[in-house]
Amino acid sequence: MKKMAFLWLAILLVFVTGCSQEVGGGGATGPSTIQKIVDRNKLIIGTSPGYFPFEMKDKQGVNVGYDIDLGKAIGEALKVEVEFKEFEFGGLIPALQTGDIDMVISGMTIRGDRALAVSFSDPYYSAGQVIMVPKSDSATKTWKDLDKPDKKIALAQGTTGALLAKQLFQNAQMMDFDGFANAALAVKQNQADAVIFDEPGIAVYEIMNGDSVRGIYDTLSSENLGIALPLNDHATIQWMNSFLASYRNGPADQAAIQKWFKSNEWINNVQQDNY
């Protein structure tokens, strides 16, 4: 009887303790990230400039783009200051895991392997993967035309396009590059025969470098972009999904889509080094 009473007491203590604490990043106990942001009066967003038109630098060095507008809208909803911290794309998830940033908004595709390290919001944008080849290549019609031993495919490390290329190509050579800008430059300079990347990024690159490259816009696959949040931070995930439910396709989102995806007036106002 005493053993049974002790068991029930232990179960009760576990239940009370679990209910009295919120789940934070990585499953650790403590205040949720959303609560930390409000208490600090600042939202710190990780981004990787260079993914046109999602995140870029204007000629004054200010972060601009579709993702930047989304981040600012989140800050406005929370009534807090917004700070953007810049990383190489591959360093964004580690920075989120260590608590250097509160979330990642950087054109990040929702993928199962990433979801082992972070939690994702609902999708905020859907992007298709397409191919870009040198302008001098008028023969290539599909990726299958490039799957030959003498062809070189540029891979932007860590991107969904790089993973897709490794799945598709069985015979072509793979060339690793740090980021899309460097991979695209290799195609532009005829050092590589193709790169696979998100359609918006390739469309903008072709507008800016139409004398050197051309896009092939038959979609190879479609991916959803999401906001990366600390793993299992349920309060923050719930808040973010509620925010996105009202933001997506609303007036602010439509204005951002019109500005960054349906117009090219901004192109001459952003830094284009290596792009």
Q: In the block, which residue shows the tokens 């810049």?
A: 86
Strand order of the β-sheet with 152-156 is: 173-177, 152-156, 194-198, 125-134, 213-225
pLDDT value at residue 10? 40
Per-residue confidence (pLDDT) for residue 30, from 0 to 100: 79
Q: What is the C-alpha separation between 141 and 118, in angstroms, rounded?
A: 37
pLDDT of residue 151 exceeding 60, the answer is yes
pLDDT at 241 over 50: yes
Q: Is the pLDDT of residue 274 over 90?
A: no
Q: What are phi and psi of 149, to 5 degrees?
A: -60, -25
Distance from the Cα of residue 51 to its chain's centroid: 9
Read off the pLDDT of residues 15-30 as tens digits, 9 standing for 90 and up. Answer: 333 333 343 444 446 7
Which tokens sit at 2?
Answer: 């005493």
Q: Provide the token pair at 162.
A: 């790089």
Looking at the DSSP bridge assignments, the partners of residue 57 are: 63
pLDDT confidence tier of residue 62, bands split at 50, 70 and 90 = very high
Q: What is the mean pLDDT of the chain?
A: 89
